[in-house]
C-alpha cells in the first residue's frame, strides 16, 4: 500500500545538540519529499523539501537527505533551539494524482 513510516515518534534533545528524524516510503515512483513543522495549535508549514533528482539540500540549520535506492529520507536540524520544539511531519508524493502521504509525525522537544 501507499505509506510513509516516520521515526522516532518523540525526540528530546538538549539545546545546541542535533536532531535527526527518519522516514521510509513504499512507492519507488515517489519524486517529491517535503517536511512540515507544526507548532502547538497552529497549521503545518513547509520548512524544506527535496526532489528525487537531488541527494541533499540545506537551508541554514536544516538539511534533508534522500536515498532513493533505500527509499528513505531524513531531516537534520543542527544547533537546536527552544523554538525548534514542534511536531515535524515528513511526506512523500505517491499514487494516482501524485498525492502527498504523510508520516505519523515526530514530537521534538528542545530542552534549555
Is 45 a binding residue for another protein by CB under 8 A? The answer is yes
Q: How far is the CB of 27 from another protein (least distance, A)?
A: 13
Which phi and psi (to 5°) does residue 15 adopt? -55, 135
User: What is the rounded distance in angstroms from the CA atom of residue 71 to the CA atom of residue 25?
Assistant: 6
Considering only CA atoms, which of 36, 50, 49 is closest in space to residue 86? 36
Angle at 11 between CA 34 and CA 62, to 5 degrees: 40
Q: How far is the CB of 66 from another protein (least distance, A)?
A: 16
User: What is the rounded distance in angstroms from the CA atom of residue 112 to the CA atom of residue 27?
Assistant: 39
Is 104 a binding residue for another protein by CB under 8 A? The answer is yes
Which range in 11-19, 55-63, 75-83, 101-109 contacts another protein by CB under 8 A?
A: 101-109
Is 98 a binding residue for another protein by CB under 8 A? The answer is yes
Residue with C-alpha cell 529520507?
73
Q: How far is the CB of 5 from another protein (least distance, A)?
A: 10
**Total chain residues near another protein (CB under 8 A):** 25
Q: Which residues bind another protein (CB under 8 A)?
A: 2, 6, 9, 32, 34, 36, 42-46, 49, 89, 91, 93, 96-105
Amino acid at each position: 500500500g501507499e505509506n510513509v513510516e516516520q521515526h522516532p515518534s518523540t525526540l528530546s534533545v538538549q539545546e545546541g545538540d542535533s536532531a535527526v528524524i527518519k522516514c521510509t516510503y513504499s512507492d519507488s515512483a515517489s519524486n517529491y519529499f517535503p517536511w512540515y513543522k507544526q507548532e502547538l495549535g497552529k497549521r503545518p508549514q513547509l520548512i524544506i523539501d527535496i526532489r528525487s533528482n537531488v541527494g541533499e539540500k540545506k537551508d541554514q540549520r536544516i538539511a534533508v537527505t534522500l536515498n532513493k535506492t533505500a527509499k528513505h529520507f531524513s531531516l537534520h536540524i543542527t544547533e537546536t533551539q527552544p523554538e525548534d520544539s514542534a511536531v515535524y511531519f515528513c511526506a512523500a508524493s505517491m499514487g494516482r494524482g501524485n498525492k502527498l502521504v504523510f508520516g505519523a509525525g515526530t514530537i521534538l522537544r528542545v530542552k534549555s
